[in-house]
């Protein structure tokens, strides 16, 4: 398959962003940056058998998620996603239609954010499909939400239910079950098609000093990263952690999913206490639910504590269980 044929089939050479000067089809793409903004860039790779399984997710869902996790990284800086590039290593076991569907899944998501595909590479490989997405966005100068911004007194918050993605994965593995098909679909979708929180990230960027991380590796891991980058102690309260009302019915692992499950792609962050009410109200007006879950308590000890019934324990940087570890 010719890489330019493939990409030009997808792009049709029309671009959403007027700043695109040269799109797909030359040695590189060229775009014009807006003067009042800085550029944001990140890259993420998904490997078949490790980050996705073809019997769990369709090619379209795999493409969607590969782009979504990159958009989520831009959201976690408070930024606006604008462009993406895709590199695919394709084994011979994948058919051309499947690759088209994968690009289709990315394109559908990109459309929601007026993002343009600016290029990529397609190579053949012998074993597993590997998809690497580079995403480029922008952030108003001086408005980025950095991990190092947490200060004592800040409110710690998350932007949505935790553990839903891990519950969806557990359902796919038939480790648990659920009666309602609608609920089953909800949890599966949270795993297969997570929604990057660009909306909340943008609101955060207007509040000056907000530390943000997207929940890819699990709440505990993300909060530890903020604690380390800011050199602060974070305390969160177990009873404040937002979960779907039906999550607990999925079995005893729900607490683990909430703290360590990851891949919810909600945002976790800290915001100065004095602007919390305004922030909450602005989110509410935008029909976005945000949940306070604790506080930054002091400078100097980069740890996260989980409080439950007046007892505090250290929340370690425990990672996410990939497919291959099951």
Residues in binding site? 27, 44, 51, 73, 103, 120-121, 147, 214, 216-217, 263, 320
Give the helix/strand (H/E) hosting 64: helix 59-75
CA distances (Å), origin 68, targets 59, 101, 175, 251? 14, 16, 26, 28
266 to 305, contacts with its own copies by CB under 8 A? none
Stretch that binds its own copies, among 99-107, 136-144, 176-184, 241-249 (CB under 8 A): 136-144
Size of the site for its own copies (CB under 8 A): 72
Rounded Cα–Cα distance for residues 196 and 72 (Å): 5
- Please name the residues in contact with 209: beta carbons below 8 A apart, sequence gap of 6 or more: 149, 151, 271, 272
Q: Which of 10, 40, 106, 188 binds its own copies (CB under 8 A)?
A: 40
> Would you say 125 or 237 has its CB closer to its own copies?
125
51 to 70, contacts with its own copies by CB under 8 A? 51
144 to 173, contacts with its own copies by CB under 8 A? 144, 146-149
Q: Which of 16, 50, 237, 291 binds its own copies (CB under 8 A)?
A: 50
**Which of 6, 12, 292, 308 is CA-nearest to residue 154?**
292
Q: Which of 9, 111, 114, 141 binds its own copies (CB under 8 A)?
A: 141
Query: For the stretch 263-302, what's the b/e string if a residue is b when 16 or more beta carbons lie within 10 angstroms of its beta carbon?
Result: bbbbbbbbbbeebbeebbebbeeeeeebbbbbbbbeeeeb
Q: Which of 18, 55, 92, 142 binds its own copies (CB under 8 A)?
A: 142
Residue ranges at the known binding site for substrate? 51, 263, 320
| Residue 1 near its own copies by CB under 8 A | yes
Q: Which of 77, 234, 271, 304 binds its own copies (CB under 8 A)?
A: 77
Rounded Cα–Cα distance for residues 316 and 74 (Å): 25
Q: Which of 61, 116, 154, 214 binds its own copies (CB under 8 A)?
A: 214
**CB burial of residue 95 (10 Å; 0-12, 13-18, 19+):** exposed
Collapsing DSSP to helix, strand or coil, 313 comes out as: strand
Rounded Cα–Cα distance for residues 149 and 270 (Å): 8
Q: Which of 16, 54, 58, 87 binds its own copies (CB under 8 A)?
A: 87
> Would you say 114 or 141 has its CB closer to its own copies?
141
Radius of gyration of the chain (CA): 20
> Would you say 76 or 99 has its CB closer to its own copies?
76
Helix 59-75 × helix 181-192 angle, to 10°: 60
Give the helix/strand (H/E) hosting 47: strand 37-47
Q: Which of 13, 14, 35, 309 binds its own copies (CB under 8 A)?
A: 35
Stretch that binds its own copies, among 60-68, 131-139, 158-166, 272-280 (CB under 8 A): 131-139
| Residue 318 near its own copies by CB under 8 A | no
> Would you say 21 or 111 has its CB closer to its own copies?
21
């Amino acid at each position: 398959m010719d890489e330019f044929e493939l990409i030009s089939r997808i792009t049709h050479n029309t671009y959403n962003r007027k700043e695109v000067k040269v799109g797909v089809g030359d040695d590189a793409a060229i775009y014009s940056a807006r003067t009042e903004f800085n550029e944001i860039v990140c890259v993420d790779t998904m490997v078949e058998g490790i980050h996705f399984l073809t019997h769990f997710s369709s090619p379209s869902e795999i493409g969607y998620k590969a782009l979504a996790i990159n958009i989520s990284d831009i959201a976690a800086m408070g930024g606006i996603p604008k462009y993406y590039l895709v590199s695919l290593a394709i084994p011979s076991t994948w058919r051309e239609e499947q690759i088209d569907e994968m690009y289709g899944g990315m394109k559908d998501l990109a459309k929601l954010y007026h993002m343009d595909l600016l290029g990529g590479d397609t190579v053949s490989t012998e074993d597993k499909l590997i998809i690497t997405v580079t995403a480029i966005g922008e952030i108003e100068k001086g408005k980025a939400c950095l991990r190092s911004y947490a200060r004592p007194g800040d409110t710690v918050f998350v932007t949505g239910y935790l553990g839903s993605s891990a519950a969806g994965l557990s359902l796919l593995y038939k480790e648990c079950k659920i009666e309602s098909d609608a609920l089953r679909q909800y949890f599966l979708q949270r795993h297969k098609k997570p929604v990057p929180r660009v909306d909340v990230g943008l609101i955060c960027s207007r509040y000056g000093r907000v530390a943000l991380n997207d929940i890819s590796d699990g709440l505990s891991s993300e909060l530890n990263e903020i604690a380390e980058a800011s050199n602060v102690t974070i305390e969160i309260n177990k009873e404040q952690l937002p979960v779907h009302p039906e999550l607990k019915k999925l079995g005893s692992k729900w607490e683990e999913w909430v703290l360590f499950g990851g891949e919810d792609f909600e945002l976790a962050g800290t915001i100065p206490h004095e602007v919390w009410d305004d922030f909450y109200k602005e989110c509410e007006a935008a029909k976005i639910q945000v949940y306070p879950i604790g506080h930054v308590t002091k400078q100097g000890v980069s740890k996260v504590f989980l409080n439950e019934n007046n007892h505090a324990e250290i929340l370690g940087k425990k990672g996410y269980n990939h497919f291959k570890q099951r």
